[in-house]
């Protein structure tokens, strides 16, 4: 069952509450820095680290506050200062991913949570005409196609990690994840699929934005950066291009939160989640994990059942 | 067809069972094409199984280039992806039977990972017959020989793996 | 800002022709016969600048405001083999040796449909690779066999700021031929024909070649002389939207004193540390050299590297002079707006707007250039 994302009508009040709360945390010294969004040059919210109460006044919360912030915690591993961060439902999954992977101490965090009923895709909104954009951002109604892909299956409107909630929790309707894009690919011939993937990943410019934005790609040193062993050759040959993405997807298998941030930041528009979704789908089918994108205390690949499906080939 | 591991295991330096033969360089393909299969064998069961096949002088193909790993749980899926990328015609992973792992549970973890890998490789367009997983214990030399023979035949029939487009 | 070419007025046209938009495909086919041809194409829904290869995905898209990737890859490929080697035996002594094979010589290439800013970027790359104590043979070989066919911009978008660096939507810098839409600039311009003006001998040779002539590149009507001049002037005088906000960028002196500014921490706090900006940038030129080897054979190649990557400056002993994101972010902007100016007398930016459009977190050069003006120091 698909989700029906909507825009929160009270975002302006939430934004005011966010600024107030961040200013309080900063001025009372509870946190040394607060991670949120500020308005970028083209009006779209961009990640922002406020370090004074005055700077907290620049924080924004609006229908385009899509970028997740948890990954920025890894820039602040040094020292012991406390960090404030704002998260909505899916943003909290990203944060939880980093916490469950034990990459940032929970006790150094103050999490401000905002229940969320949907966020727009900044790129899709940017493609609208000026009047249309104005209308959408002011009072809607909003075409469901303008929301982020992740909103269409989200059933985590309320933050799973938070110290302060800025508004009332929203009702939760659980539904089974579906993976239509994987099914589409699986329906192709194997050769056709190989050809498709080859053509697809040839377009990659190897900027690593997908990896850098991914909350599950949080290793101390990324294998793709290593020289010894050389997991990824530096040549942008078709084989290496594919290997980059095949490795990237497998390395987050069982830990991907299905946020799709990788796709959102891809400057050449690669449908990267086609690979990640394959793992999510298979994890459900093989191991019976119903919502594999929700961070768990023990990940699907960090455990086993003696009765897991048989692996041995007979031939 | 040649004998594999014909010398007793004790007289060889460790880790040299089934020593790899180089692919004939391009342009000198006078011999019949032989597939290159990379095998990841756990030290405690399958590697010993391959050894026992050798000491029992069982005849089986030498196409498998064996990489000895402490446990099938050591096999990072990237090993397999990289092997295919660099031109392997097939990859074989073999470990202790479930329940018999030297480290109790290593192969159970491996099983989950490799189950995912199997589906993934096919999804990436790699023929599933080129990737096999088996449980071979130290006493199953016969089974090892059979696994290698059947896999070699199958991969040979498939022909060389399609190139993914390397620089070299 | 008017025809503000820092190096003075454009050189006089050497040849003028006219080509109908409908004949462009034919012309490209004709050019492909003697050269490799690169052109802006729509690939997977995005404008990309790539080689035209029969059978490969991609549709010519001359009016895309900017391609995701710049044309620099035609002169400085993302992966460029430098030599090939093979393990061998010395026939005399029987000792092992290496057979070295140089890469095949560069083939002639036409960079078609380049935007004026990207052509101007080639001038900056030339400065790096062709001047000073070291001349890069590989770049030189490609560059000498290249012809740049620019298409003047009819509708610069909200990310365009070439005029901030003294260029213009009709700049002829480093262009061998410039195509000007006959209907002049305008937001909805879909020209039915282009004036083709050659500004160099190479451009003249291309325009007047038999291949071009037979593909419909013809003499313009004799009475259109004035119209051509007006059209060219209109393109040169076209403003660029983002430059209206940024103004003329001249911050080299300001940045001299800002190396230790806390501002860089603010910038780094937003940076994702990816290499998007450097890889889409037409003027970023940093590269690394590596080998790809197997079975006794190998290729040594160079590949684009990025100062934004954590391993970029790491040395053999493990020391990294730029260990933090702050250092790496600062490096890129300082290089563009200060270091390069000190070495070459030019800013390392042409205002193409790619970082504005592609940065996943909206961190881009014009904003930084604007913000540093207001900093203390």
Greater confidence (A65 vs A2) lies with: A65
Instruction: Give the pLDDT score at B20.
Output: 36
Among A46, A205, A211, the residue with its CB nearest the CB of C270 is A46
Task: Tell me whether residue B167 is in a domain.
Answer: no
CB proximity C43 to A under 8 Å: yes
Give residue C189's pLDDT band: very low, low, confident or very high (50, 70, 90): confident
pLDDT at position C372 over 50 = yes
* pLDDT exceeds cutoff 90 at C295: no
Q: What is the mean pLDDT of residues A118-140?
A: 89
pLDDT for B167 equals 81
Average pLDDT over residues C4-8: 40
Residue with tokens 């070495």: C343
**Confidence band (pLDDT; 50, 70, 90) for B112?**
very high
pLDDT-based confidence at residue A315 (cuts at 50, 70, 90)? low
A266 to chain C: nearest residue by CA? C360
The residue of chain B with its CA nearest to that of C299 is: B168
CB contact under 8 A, C274 and A44: no
Instruction: Say if residue A47's pLDDT is above 80.
Output: yes
Provide mean pLDDT across the span C139-145.
96
Q: How many CB atoms lie within 10 A of CB C359?
A: 24
pLDDT tens per residue across span C207-243:
999 999 999 999 999 999 999 999 999 999 999 999 9
Q: Is the pLDDT of residue B159 over 90?
A: yes
**Residue B142 located in a structural domain:** yes
The per-residue b/e assignment along A99-122, b for 16 or more CB within 10 angstroms, e otherwise, is bbeebbeeebbbbbbbbbbbbbbb
Specify the pLDDT at position C2.
34
B84: in domain? yes
CATH number at residue B130: 3.40.50.960
d(CA A74, CA A211): 13
State percent of chain A over pLDDT 90: 87
Which residues, 6+ apart, have CB-to-CB distance to A289 below 8 Å?
A283, A296, A300
Residues of A within 8 A of B111 (CB-CB) are 304, 308, 311
Residues whose CB falls within 8 Å of the CB of residue A314, separated by 6 or more in sequence, listed in order: none
- Tens of pLDDT, residues B118-153: 999 999 999 999 999 999 999 999 999 999 999 999
pLDDT at position B17: 38
pLDDT digits (tens, 9 = 90+) for C238-260: 999 999 999 999 999 999 999 99
What is the chain C residue with the closest CA to A209?
A: C274
**Cross-chain residue pair B124–A287, CB shorter than 8 Å:** no
Name the residue of chain A whose CA is nearest to B100's CA.
Answer: A306
Whether the predicted pLDDT of C361 surpasses 80: yes
Q: Is the predicted pLDDT of residue B3 greater than 70, yes or no? A: no
| Average pLDDT of the residues in C61-87 | 95
Among chain C residues, CA nearest to B22: C295
Q: For residues C148 and C120, is the Cβ–Cβ distance under 8 A?
A: no
Interface of A with C (CB under 8 A): 40-42, 44, 46-49, 67, 71-72, 75, 199-200, 203, 205-209, 211-213, 225, 227, 233-237, 264-265, 267-270
Mean pLDDT of B83-93: 95
Q: How far is B139 from chain A (nearest CA, A)?
A: 18
Q: Which pLDDT band, with edges at 50, 70 and 90, does C148 fall under?
A: very high
**Contact criterion met (CB < 8 Å) for A311 and B150:** no
pLDDT, tens digit (0-9, with 9 covering 90-100), for C26-60: 999 999 998 999 999 999 889 999 999 877 777 88
Query: Interface partners of C (3+ CB pairs, < 8 Å)?
Result: A, B
Buried b (16+ CB within 10 A) or exposed e, A194-220: beebbebbbbbbbbbbbbbbbbbbbee
Judge whether B23 lies within some domain.
no
Q: With contacts defined as CB-CB under 8 Å, which chain C residues touch B88?
A: none
Q: What is the pLDDT of residue A111?
A: 98
SS3 for C214-255 is HCCCECCCHHHHHHHHHHHHHHHCCCCHHHHHHCCCCCHHHH
Residues of A in contact with B75 (CB under 8 A): none
C46 in contact with chain A, both atoms CB, cutoff 8 A: yes
- Cβ atoms within 10 A of the Cβ of C69, count? 24
Confidence of residue A39 (pLDDT cuts 50, 70, 90): very high
Domain ranges of chain A: 11-165, 180-302
Closest CA to A86 of A107, A106, A67: A67
Asked if ipTM goes beyond 0.95, one says no
Query: How sure is the predictor about C266, in pLDDT bands with cuts at 50, 70 and 90?
Result: very high
Rounded to an integer, the average pLDDT of A139-155 is 89
Laid out side by side, the sheet with A164-165 consists of A45-50, A33-39, A83-87, A109-113, A164-165
Does residue C5 register a pLDDT over 50?
no
CB contact under 8 A, A197 and B116: no
Work out the mean pLDDT of chain B and round it to a whole number. Answer: 85
Q: Locate the domains of chain C by residue range.
A: 1-75+107-238, 249-377
Query: Averaged over B12-19, what is the pLDDT?
Result: 36
The residue of C49, C71, C274 whose CB has the most chain A CBs within 10 angstroms, and thus the best one to mutate to test that interface, is C274
Give the tens place of pLDDT for each residue, A272-296.
999 999 999 999 999 999 999 999 9
What pLDDT score does B30 carry? 62
d(CA A55, CA C196): 53
| pLDDT value of position B13 | 38
Specify the pLDDT at position A4. Answer: 84
List Cβ<8 Å contacts ≥24 apart for A21-29: A21/A112, A21/A164, A21/A166, A22/A50, A22/A56, A22/A59, A22/A84, A22/A86, A22/A112, A23/A53, A23/A56, A23/A57, A24/A53, A25/A84, A25/A110, A25/A112, A26/A50, A26/A51, A26/A52, A26/A53, A26/A55, A26/A56, A26/A84, A27/A53
What's the average model confidence in pLDDT over A198-222? 96
Pairing of the two strands C96-102 and C79-89: antiparallel
For B81, the closest of A194, A246, A301 (CB atoms) is A246
Q: Which residues of A touch B115 (CB under 8 A)?
A: 282, 286, 308-309, 311
Q: Does the beta carbon of C298 lie under 8 angstroms from any beta carbon of chain B?
A: yes
- Å from C17 to nearest chain A CA? 35
Question: Which tens digit of pLDDT belongs to each residue from C164-181?
Answer: 999 999 999 999 999 999
What is the least distance, in Å, from the CA of C296 to any CA of chain B?
9
pLDDT reading at B22 higher than 90: no
């Amino acid at each position: 069952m698909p989700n029906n994302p909507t825009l929160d009508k009270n975002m302006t009040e939430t934004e005011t509450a966010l600024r107030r709360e961040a200013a309080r945390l900063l001025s009372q010294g509870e946190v040394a820095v607060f991670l949120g969004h500020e308005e970028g040059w083209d009006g779209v919210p961009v990640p922002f680290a406020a370090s004074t109460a005055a700077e907290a006044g620049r924080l924004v919360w609006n229908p385009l506050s899509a970028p997740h912030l948890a990954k920025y915690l890894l820039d602040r591993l040094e020292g012991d200062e406390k960090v404030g961060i704002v998260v909505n439902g899916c943003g909290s999954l990203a944060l939880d991913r980093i916490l469950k992977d034990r990459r940032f101490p929970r006790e150094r965090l103050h999490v401000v949570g905002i229940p969320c009923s949907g966020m727009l895709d900044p790129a899709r909104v940017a493609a609208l005409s000026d009047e249309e954009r104005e209308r959408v951002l002011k009072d809607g109604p909003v075409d469901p196609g303008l929301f982020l892909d992740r909103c269409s299956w989200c059933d985590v409107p309320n933050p799973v990690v938070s110290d302060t909630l800025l508004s009332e929790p929203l009702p939760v309707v659980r539904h089974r994840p579906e993976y239509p894009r994987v099914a589409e690919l699986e329906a192709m011939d194997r050769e056709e699929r190989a050809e498709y993937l080859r053509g697809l990943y040839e377009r990659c410019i190897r900027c690593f934005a997908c990896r850098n934005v991914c909350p599950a790609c949080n290793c101390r040193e990324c294998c793709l950066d290593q020289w010894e062993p050389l997991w990824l050759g530096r040549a942008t040959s078709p084989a290496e291009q594919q290997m980059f993405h095949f490795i990237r997807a497998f390395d987050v298998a069982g830990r991907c939160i299905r946020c799709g941030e990788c796709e959102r930041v891809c400057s050449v528009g690669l449908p990267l989640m086609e690979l990640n979704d394959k793992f999510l789908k298979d994890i459900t089918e093989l191991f019976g994990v119903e919502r594999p994108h929700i961070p768990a205390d023990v990940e699907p690949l960090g455990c086993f059942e003696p009765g897991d499906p048989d692996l041995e080939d007979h031939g | 067809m040649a004998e594999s591991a014909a010398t007793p295991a004790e007289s060889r330096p460790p880790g040299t069972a089934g020593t790899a033969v180089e692919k004939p360089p391009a342009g000198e393909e006078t011999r019949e094409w032989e597939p290159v299969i990379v095998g990841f064998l756990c030290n405690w069961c399958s590697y010993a199984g391959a050894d026992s096949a050798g000491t029992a002088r069982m005849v089986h193909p030498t196409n498998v280039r064996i990489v000895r790993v402490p446990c099938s749980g050591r096999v990072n899926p990237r090993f397999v992806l990289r092997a295919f990328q660099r031109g392997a015609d097939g990859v074989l992973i073999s470990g202790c039977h479930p329940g018999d792992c030297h480290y109790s549970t290593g192969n159970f973890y491996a099983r989950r990972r490799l189950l995912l890998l199997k589906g993934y490789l096919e999804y990436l367009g790699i023929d599933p017959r080129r990737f096999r997983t088996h449980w071979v214990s130290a006493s199953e030399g016969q089974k090892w020989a059979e696994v290698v023979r059947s896999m070699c035949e199958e991969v040979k029939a498939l022909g060389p793996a399609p190139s993914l487009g390397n620089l070299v | 800002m008017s025809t503000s070419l820092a190096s003075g007025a454009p050189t006089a046209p050497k040849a003028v022709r006219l080509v109908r938009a409908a004949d462009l495909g034919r012309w490209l086919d004709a050019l492909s016969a003697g050269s490799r041809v690169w052109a802006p194409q729509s690939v997977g829904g995005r404008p990309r600048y790539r080689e035209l290869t029969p059978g490969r995905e991609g549709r010519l898209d001359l009016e895309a405001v900017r391609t995701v990737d710049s044309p620099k890859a035609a002169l400085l490929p993302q992966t460029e083999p430098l030599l090939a080697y093979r393990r061998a035996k010395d026939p005399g002594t029987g000792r092992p040796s290496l057979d070295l094979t140089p890469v095949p010589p560069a083939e002639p290439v036409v960079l078609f449909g380049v935007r004026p800013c990207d052509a101007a970027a080639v001038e900056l790359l030339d400065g790096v690779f062709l001047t000073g104590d070291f001349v890069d043979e590989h770049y030189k070989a490609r560059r000498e066999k290249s012809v740049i066919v620019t298409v003047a911009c009819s509708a610069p978008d909200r990310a365009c700021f070439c005029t901030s660096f003294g260029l213009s939507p009709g700049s002829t810098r480093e262009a061998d031929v410039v195509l000007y839409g006959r209907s002049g600039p305008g937001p909805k311009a879909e020209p039915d024909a282009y004036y083709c003006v050659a500004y160099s001998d190479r451009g003249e040779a291309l325009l007047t070649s038999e291949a071009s002539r037979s593909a419909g590149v013809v003499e313009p009507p004799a009475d259109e002389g004035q119209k051509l001049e007006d059209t060219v002037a209109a393109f040169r005088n076209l403003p660029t939207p983002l430059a209206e906000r940024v103004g003329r960028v001249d911050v080299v002196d300001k940045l001299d004193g800002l190396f230790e500014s806390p501002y860089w921490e603010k910038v780094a706090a937003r940076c994702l540390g990816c290499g998007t900006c450097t890889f889409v940038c037409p003027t970023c030129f940093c590269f690394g050299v590596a080998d790809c080897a197997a079975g006794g054979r190998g290729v040594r190649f160079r590949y684009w590297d990025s100062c934004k990557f954590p391993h970029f400056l790491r040395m053999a002993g493990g020391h990294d002079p730029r260990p933090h994101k702050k250092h790496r972010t600062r490096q890129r902007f300082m290089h563009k707006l200060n270091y390069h100016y000190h070495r070459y007398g030019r800013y390392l930016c042409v205002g193409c707007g790619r970082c504005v459009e592609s940065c996943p977190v909206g961190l881009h050069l014009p904003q930084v250039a604007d913000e540093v003006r207001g900093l203390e120091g």
